[in-house]
Every structure is written in C-alpha cells, then in structure tokens.
Structure 1
C-alpha cells in the first residue's frame, strides 16, 4: 500500500519523512514476529525519532502482508462514533497494538498520547489538526496547522505531539495504531477555550 510517512512533533510541525521501503518478508510476517522486531529496536535505540523511522517499514511490511487486519476492526459505536479493537496489550511490555474505526464526521478531543505512536491509515480519510503549547503557559495551546491523510499514509507522533482527529466522508475511517508505553501522568485532553490541560 503506497503512502507517505509523516512525523508530528511537540511544536505541531508535520514533516514528510523519507520513505523507507520494507523488505519482503522471508516468511509470513506474523504479529508475534512484528512485535519481536519492534522490541529489538526499542532495546537498542533510545531516540524516539530514530525508533519511529526504523519501525515504520516494519508496520508497512505487516499491513501489506496481513489482510486479516481489515477483519479485526469493530464498527464504530453509534454513541461515541468510534471503536477500538485491541490486538495486543500485555502487562510490562512497552507496546499496545489496536485497530481503530471512526464514523464519518466524528471529531476527537484535542489530546496527546504521552508516548510515541504510529497510525497507519487503512481506509477512509482522516483530517488531523495540530496544536502546540504556548511558551508562556503550558496549559494553553495554539493551532499549528492541519493535514488530511489517506490510505497508505503512516502518521508518527512524538510523545508531546498534540492533535485532534476528524474522520471525513461517509464511510468509517480504519487505522492500525501502535503505541509505546504510555506515561499517563503526561497524557492530556486540552481545551483551548478554557485554557486547560486535564489528564486524559
């Protein structure tokens, strides 16, 4: 699946990244092999930026060789407008793997994740609005731009990146989401009108 790799940083800057093409897997590239390969990167590489660059080709290899991922997502909840299907979450292991579906028109709260993350868009269109903390008051945020992503795009986030997701169109937006170990004391929901940042 062709697409662009993007990096969102703590200043709300969205930068196109050099697209590293994945190597064809020598055998079926299963989820357990993917998790082991990602863990190996986390052990030997400390920089989140470098980790994301190295993990992106593994994500592409997995989604291009795992059609079952498309069947692993639940339809969006009619009340919330979204659903999360957990593929992997193990205590004391620094990775969470999810399939996420957003109903068209659904808009998320403005939030960060308190960890690095990769979102691989598999279906639909997703508009992301980016924000940055004010230099004078860290609870206040300022708009920093927006970009619409399409199937095949990989959106990578540094831990302090702040964004808001809007699913576009009539069909659900479906994504494969990979997150590192969340620091829940650093994960916030932001309200730009009130100038508040509350634990999410």
Structure 2
C-alpha cells in the first residue's frame, strides 16, 4: 500500500469516489509486491472480486454505447507510469466481438448482464486460425483472467446488454494489438481507443500524462466490423 502522503487521484477525485481510490491504491500495492504474472493475476483477481459487489458506476454515461456503435469503451483510470489502466466496456445485447488480444495480462469482472467468453491461443507463426482453449459464461460479480499470450472473444446474451470492468497491465489504448479477421482469414493489427470524448466523460488520471483527448481521437472504433 502507498504511504499516507501518496495518493493516486486528485483530492477531488478521491473525495468523489473513495472506493475506487482505495481499489487503485490496492492494485498499485499488488504490482509493487508481486514477483510473477501468475501472482499478479491471482492478487488482482481477488481485489476485483472483492471490489465490484460494493461499488457503483460513478456516472450513468458509462452505460451508454458510442453513438453509431453497439459498444462503448471508457477509460476510467490510467496510472502515470502506465503500469495498469482500468476500463469500463458496455456491449449491446446479442453482440459478438472479434477475437482479439491485449498484449498484456488482463483481469475482467462482470458488472451487469451475461457474457459467453471464449479464450483462444493464436498460431505461433500467425499462419493459422486461433485455437479455442476454453469457453465459459460469466455473470455479475464473476471474474476471469487472461495471459498476455491469449486472445479473447465475448458474446452477450440476446436479451440484455453487458457492462464489464477491466484491469490491464499496460495502456491498451496506445499499443498495437491483433484481432482475427474471419472474412480474410488473417490476423490484423489495431489500436483500441476510447469512447470518453464522444460522451464527454472524464478520466481519473494519475499525475501528469499525455493528452488523453488526442489519444482517443486517433484511436476510436476498436471493434470496427463487429457491429
């Protein structure tokens, strides 16, 4: 845990959402003390599992989809050293994402709805389709973790949207990632981007950072072709 004089949010942000502030401090503590990715995933999963049942979204706009799209991807928090980010994703009912990777570890907890999650392993030489490793359904409060080498696809239930809470071990909005394009039977690079500026949502930032508005304007639309 950080020393009492170190806070990862501004005083105003800390006062507005003390539960999130405590969670962010806890994740920084996990990353300071973990000695392996396996240990990190276990500890972050435990923190997310304990946090989500008692936390409420700070703004109803996190439930919105990006205008003209069937999803919204909102950057909630970005550490100054980019050691982790927190993202809220909202997907329409009956939507299936493309198979994609994150190029870092990820821990995902479901806030609302039901999702079918499929975990894949890409071909080593990227010369064959991803291989399905596991498939399971997640419901509110349930958490799963992904290794850097794995790919992921989600499918929402036909009758309800889903809202999910993601902790990533890097700033996934600024790195080149891979998706499997079924139509061309090939892996394609993309950048994720955020929907924050479209609905005028703030970001909880830790210290001086690059202009998030400019980053988002360059990288909007990470599920193109899936809607």
TM-score category (smaller protein)? 0.7 to 0.9
Greater length-normalized contact order (CA 8 Å, ≥ 6 residues apart): 1
Superposition deviation, residue 74 in structure 1: 2.8
Matched, 1:190 2:180: yes
- Provide the rounded CA distance (Å) in 2 between the counterparts of 1:116 and 1:72: 27
- Contact 1:29 1:62 (8 Å CA) reproduced: no
User: Which residue of the partner structure matches residue 149 of structure 1?
Assistant: 138
Superposition deviation, residue 157 in structure 1: 0.8
TM-score, normalising length: structure 1: 0.74
- Contact 2:53 2:141 (8 Å CA) reproduced: no
- Contact 1:188 1:199 (8 Å CA) reproduced: yes
- Provide the rounded CA distance (Å) in 2 between the counterparts of 1:88 and 1:144: 30
Count matched residues: 171
- Provide the rounded CA distance (Å) in 1 between the counterparts of 2:49 and 2:58: 12
Which structure 2 segments of 5+ residues have no match?
1-16, 191-227
> Secondary structure at the residue paired with 1:40?
helix
User: Which residue of the partner structure matches residue 122 of structure 1?
Assistant: 111
Q: CA RMSD in A?
A: 2.4
Superposition deviation, residue 78 in structure 1: 5.6
- Provide the rounded CA distance (Å) in 2 between the counterparts of 1:89 and 1:196: 31
User: Which residue of the partner structure matches residue 32 of structure 1?
Assistant: 21
Task: Give deviations 1:53-91, integer Å, cap 9, x for gaps.
Answer: 111221123212222458462322363211122221244
Question: Closer, same or farther in 2 for the Cα pair 1:68/1:130, shift >3 Å?
Answer: closer
TM-score, normalising length: structure 2: 0.66
| Higher share in helix | 2
